[in-house]
Amino acid sequence: MPAAVAIPAAVSLGSSVLGGVLGSRASKKAGQIQQEEALRQAQGFRDTLGQYNPQIGTAAEQARADVLGAAGTAGANLTGVAETGAAGITGAAGQANEYLEPYLGLGGQAAKSLGEMMAPGGQLNRDFTLEDMKSLDPGYQFRIDQANKALAGSAAARGGALGGGALRAAANLSQNLASSEFGSAFDRFRAQQGDRFNRFSSLTDLGVRTSGQAGGNLMTAAQQAAALRTGAAQTAGGWNVGANEYGGNAMQNAAALQAQNAFGTQRSIADLMTGGAAARAAGTMGSANAWGGALQGVGNAAGQVGGYYQQKDLMKDWMGGGYGNPSTPQLWNLPGPKNPALDPSYWPRGYK
């Protein structure tokens, strides 16, 4: 085959095969690189998710623990202060009652004494006697004696003897004086008894009032202490509830954020893997296309060579003798003027 045909065909064939090989390798390599990069980035997403998602949960748990701890500490401090305040209130009530203790004791003693005097046979529960009259009116006997002396003197002046009239007069004087003095003494007895009763009763009333005041102090202190403790407990409980709600919300938000990060990372990884697979597929298709182009080039080169031989055979047949057949007329042996294009003697050297 002439070099003018063989060299271009060989070059075309070689370039097609080399282009197919290089194109196929380049397409596969590019797809592999993109897929490997997608895998590397996907692993980076997984590493980042594994690094930060646990930190989110840890931070939420720590925030929850801090809030609960702060609420517990504050609640304990508040209840401690309330307990101290309640103890102070109770102590103040006790100290105030200590100041009332003398009055309570006096009222208690008066009530006891009054009870004893009002008992049967007691000083305030007995009859009036002559001894009471004597003790309450010590001048009574003196007045009786003086009246009797006056009657005796009068009788002596009249002859030294007491007649019946003088005796009756003495008796009447004694009776009238006794009756008058007895009534006065009894009134004084009753007044004395009443005064004594009133004084002991007043002391008893003082004790009752003081006792009521002392009891009121204790009741008020107990109520105030209970209210202080209850308020502190309610406030501390509210803080604990709020802390638990905050902690629960923090954990829920952290879980939601972790899930969101996981879903987002998974979507990103899916996109990367899809892109990597698409790049790998595109590389495979590019390789196939490169090989298709190479085969097409080979086919074109083969077509060129085949065309050359086909044209050569046609030329031989047209010029005669086709492949040594002597019966085929030679165009350059026909009579007439020679055509340089048909005369082999004019052809380039070696072209036969």
Question: Is 143 part of any domain?
Answer: yes
User: Residue 255's Cα: distance from chain center in Å?
Assistant: 16
Kindly state the tokens that stand for 265: 């990372």
Are 108 and 149 members of one domain? yes
Distances (CA, A) of 298 to 7, 128, 240, 289, 304: 14, 162, 85, 14, 10
Are 333 and 306 members of one domain? no
Q: Output the CA torsion 216→222→228→233 (10° steps).
A: -150
Q: What is the pLDDT of residue 206?
A: 92
Picking from 52, 57, 55, the residue whose alpha carbon sits closest to that of residue 264 is 52
Question: Is 74 part of any domain?
Answer: yes
Are 196 and 155 members of one domain? yes
Kindly state the tokens that stand for 83: 């307990």
Cβ(331)–Cβ(320) under 8 Å? yes
Strand, coil or helix: 54: helix
Number of domains in the chain: 3
Enclosing domain of residue 332: 325-352
Are 210 and 172 members of one domain? yes
Are 276 and 227 members of one domain? no
Are 119 and 137 members of one domain? yes
Cβ(247)–Cβ(63) under 8 Å? yes
Q: What is the pLDDT of residue 266?
A: 84
Are 121 and 65 members of one domain? no
Distances (CA, A) of 148 to 74, 140, 171, 306, 352: 98, 13, 9, 197, 213
List the chain pLDDT tens, one digit each, 352 residues.
555 555 655 556 556 666 666 666 776 677 778 778 888 888 888 888 888 889 998 999 999 999 999 999 999 999 999 999 999 999 999 999 999 999 999 999 999 999 999 998 888 888 888 777 777 766 666 666 666 666 666 656 555 455 555 556 555 655 666 666 777 778 888 898 999 999 999 999 999 999 999 999 999 999 999 999 999 999 999 999 999 999 999 999 999 998 988 888 888 888 877 877 776 667 666 666 665 666 666 566 666 666 666 666 666 665 554 444 444 444 444 454 555 555 555 555 554 4
Kindly state the tokens that stand for 61: 């748990």
Are 215 and 116 members of one domain? yes
Question: Is 335 part of any domain?
Answer: yes
Give the C-alpha separation, 17 to 200, whole Å: 139
Last residue of a domain, one of 240, 265, 285: 240
H or E stretch covering 209: helix 164-319
